[in-house]
Chains A and B, each alone.
Chain A
Amino acid sequence: MRALRTGLSLALCLMAISCGGGGGSSSSPPPPPPPPPATANVTAVIVDGGPSGNSVNTVFTSVTVCVPGSTTCQTIDHIQVDTGSYGLRILGPVLTLSLPVQTLTNGNSLAECTQFVDGYSWGPIALADLTIASETAKSVPVQVIGDSKFTTVPAACSATGGILENTVAAFGANGILGIGPFELDCGDCATATHGLYYSCAGTVCTETTVATTMQMPNPVTRFAADNNGIILVLPAVAAAGAPPVSGSLIFGIDTQSNNQSGTQTVLTVDINARLIMTYNGTALPKSFIDSGSNGIYFTDSSIAKCTDTGLTTFYCPASTLTLGLSIQGQNGVMVNNLTFGVGNTKNMLANTTFTAFPELAGTNPDATSFDYGLAFFYGKRVAVAVELKKTSVGTGPYIAF
């Protein structure tokens, strides 16, 4: 029986529908059936409310970090899976390990002012041995956001504005796994300071350049195998939304039987990870697909916006709209005739047990951008290939689905 069940699980895995691992209880009766065991390159992901319970359209996974070269390890859940950033960042308050901070040639500690559109995080760049599923990366740089020994945020960092996201509550996750289509979180920080990397002597920190080997990498690129990209697989979600949904994060593209490209359409992205989406007859050159965005963000002044406090930038049409979209890669490949729904945000959020909303949409402050967030991934198998890495259907950076 057990062998049969394992076989079925493996078959499901190969079909890459909802392959997961870890955390499954073996004693509770079905339904629902426990997730199949993780294979070497697959880990479970979940779209739930996150550590604060109020996240929407935010996909999480678990990672295991160890003090380099040791068996002193910790598994941390609710790490956000983000194809729109680079690097593993863990919130200091949830980290029980003491990871060694990288030191520069002058003996100073390396830290980073991590900038997001809505705010910033601050913390040292340490080293850890990382394991996700059976993939491992030795001594990979990871940021410890809000580390208790690095509490003084440089003035130049806080001057970038917005919210200081140095706590789990402010960050909305226990960490973030940045696995977008590039290798590093900065293009040229080895030769130019961008207000990102800092050299710290005690609490005195100054901007610095830093060798690429010490910068924050997309950790997938540091795996011993399956390191050319990822495939994120999420189930289709009912239009009105759904309670937590589970999916799979598969490492590698065309490296194993479960991550073959097949007939996927390959859209290459530019140096800023951008695609060209055409909505309502207008080409939007700053568009992107991003698992780390929680809505479909685009500008259409004809769609009614919500009037409720805190929701005025989200759409609240009287009835659900079905709209058309085309997406063009930088390689000229065009995907036409896609449709997406825009529902009433206020009504959707009224169901507080729901965490996945395929039709949650809001205005985009940049009229030349269409940001298709996690909703794009529902019901799809989306591959993200890293720059310069080859697969059977092309060379990264690309997105394929």
Chain B
Amino acid sequence: MRRFRSADSRVLAVLGLVLVAALGPCTAFATLGEPELTVQNDVAQLRASVKSSQTRLSYRVHEIQLPSGTLLREYVGANGNVFAVAWQGTSKPDLRQALGRYFDVYVAAPRSKIVDRKHMQIQQGDLVIEGSGHMRALSGRAFLASAIPSGVNLGDLN
């Protein structure tokens, strides 16, 4: 599962790790739909640290530990753009930061006819945002449906 597919992706992975290392202890948080390098813009605000960076078949995953303890994963496609973010923890991450220009779309999106406090499933245009869980254990994800690399299983974005 986590094996690199080719020498190229190995090089990419190493470069990714070098990038992450270069950004230092307070690093890596990108924004949905924007380049991986938006990371640097957000560093100061989130005071986060990267736990790991992995290259999978057709994308990279940065696993980020927020100061709150919440785990945030960002998924970067071959074009260098973030196509998905996912989180789990006691509290939610700063979604305004993580979703960028999609945050307002999310907040304004119409709700299901049946709502409770333990679920959320919203699709608005290309944006899909979903959540599940209960107090002390919240998880969710947001992705751009058209940007999911082919062959990626949605179940792996969590």
Query: Which residues in A have some Cβ–Cβ distance to B below 8 Å?
Result: 56, 58, 82, 84-86, 115-119, 155-156, 158-163, 165, 172, 178, 180, 182, 185-188, 192-196, 272-274, 286, 288, 290, 292-295, 297, 308-314, 345, 349, 360, 362-369, 371, 373
* B114 / chain A contacts, CB cutoff of 8 Å: 56, 294-295, 310-311, 314, 345, 349, 360, 362
**Alpha-carbon distance between A365 and B89 when the two chains are bound, in angstroms:** 16
> Which of A158, A195, A292 makes the CB contact (< 8 A) with B116?
A292
Q: Is the CB of B134 within 8 A of A273?
A: yes
**Alpha-carbon distance between A70 and B51 when the two chains are bound, in angstroms:** 52
Min CB distance A59 to B, Å, is: 12
Min CB distance A132 to B, Å, is: 20
**Alpha-carbon distance between A312 and B141 when the two chains are bound, in angstroms:** 19
Chain B residue nearest to A306 (CB atoms) is B113
* B117 / chain A contacts, CB cutoff of 8 Å: 82, 84-85, 116-119, 165, 292
**Alpha-carbon distance between A369 and B68 when the two chains are bound, in angstroms:** 24
**Alpha-carbon distance between A118 and B113 when the two chains are bound, in angstroms:** 13
* B131 / chain A contacts, CB cutoff of 8 Å: 117-118, 365
**Alpha-carbon distance between A187 and B133 when the two chains are bound, in angstroms:** 16
Q: Is the CB of A86 within 8 A of B113?
A: no
Chain A residue nearest to B113 (CB atoms) is A310
Min CB distance B134 to A, Å, is: 4
B132 proximal to A (CB < 8 A): yes
> Which of A185, A311, A369 makes the CB contact (< 8 A) with B113?
A311
B80 proximal to A (CB < 8 A): no
Q: Is the CB of B116 within 8 A of A294?
A: yes
* A156 / chain B contacts, CB cutoff of 8 Å: 94
| Segment of B11-19, B36-44, B103-111 engaged in the interface with chain A | B103-111
> Which of B69, B135, B138 makes the CB contact (< 8 A) with A192?
B69
Chain A residue nearest to B156 (CB atoms) is A367
Min CB distance A82 to B, Å, is: 8
Min CB distance B50 to A, Å, is: 19
**Size bracket of the B interface:** 35 or more
Q: Is the CB of B119 within 8 A of A288?
A: no
Q: Check A313/B118 contact, CB under 8 A, given A85-B134, A194-B91, A273-B136.
A: no
Which 8 residue pairs of A and B lie closest in terms of their CB atoms, listed nearest first? Answer: A365-B130, A84-B134, A310-B113, A272-B137, A116-B117, A161-B95, A159-B96, A85-B135
Q: Is the CB of B132 within 8 A of A371?
A: yes
* B69 / chain A contacts, CB cutoff of 8 Å: 188, 192, 194
**Alpha-carbon distance between A272 and B141 when the two chains are bound, in angstroms:** 18
Q: Is the CB of A195 within 8 A of B119?
A: no
Besides A116-B138, A369-B132, 9 other A-B contacts (C-beta < 8 A)? A155-B96, A159-B95, A159-B96, A160-B92, A162-B107, A163-B111, A180-B134, A297-B132, A371-B119
**Alpha-carbon distance between A155 and B94 when the two chains are bound, in angstroms:** 10
Min CB distance A152 to B, Å, is: 17
Chain A residue nearest to B93 (CB atoms) is A160
Q: Is the CB of A161 within 8 A of B106?
A: yes
Q: Is the CB of A162 within 8 A of B120?
A: yes
**Alpha-carbon distance between A44 and B138 when the two chains are bound, in angstroms:** 30
Q: Report which residue of B90, B99, B106 has the largest number of chain A beta carbons within 10 angstroms of its beta carbon.
A: B90
* B121 / chain A contacts, CB cutoff of 8 Å: 313, 363, 365
B125 proximal to A (CB < 8 A): no
Q: Check A196/B91 contact, CB under 8 A, given A290-B118, A371-B118.
A: yes
Chain A residue nearest to B96 (CB atoms) is A159
Q: Is the CB of A159 within 8 A of B132?
A: no
* A82 / chain B contacts, CB cutoff of 8 Å: 117
Min CB distance A154 to B, Å, is: 12
B49 proximal to A (CB < 8 A): no
* B103 / chain A contacts, CB cutoff of 8 Å: 159, 161
* A366 / chain B contacts, CB cutoff of 8 Å: 130, 132-133, 139, 158
* B106 / chain A contacts, CB cutoff of 8 Å: 161-162
**Alpha-carbon distance between A195 and B141 when the two chains are bound, in angstroms:** 19
Min CB distance A158 to B, Å, is: 8
Q: Is the CB of B134 within 8 A of A161?
A: no
Q: Is the CB of B94 within 8 A of A160?
A: yes
13 contacts between A and B (CB under 8 A): A58-B116, A85-B134, A115-B91, A116-B118, A160-B94, A178-B135, A293-B116, A295-B119, A311-B114, A362-B114, A366-B133, A367-B154, A368-B158
* A187 / chain B contacts, CB cutoff of 8 Å: 90, 136
Min CB distance B64 to A, Å, is: 15
* B140 / chain A contacts, CB cutoff of 8 Å: 117, 365
* B116 / chain A contacts, CB cutoff of 8 Å: 58, 118, 292-295, 373
**Alpha-carbon distance between A18 and B110 when the two chains are bound, in angstroms:** 38
Q: Is the CB of A86 within 8 A of B135?
A: yes
Q: Is the CB of A186 within 8 A of B90?
A: yes
Min CB distance A80 to B, Å, is: 9
* A186 / chain B contacts, CB cutoff of 8 Å: 90, 136
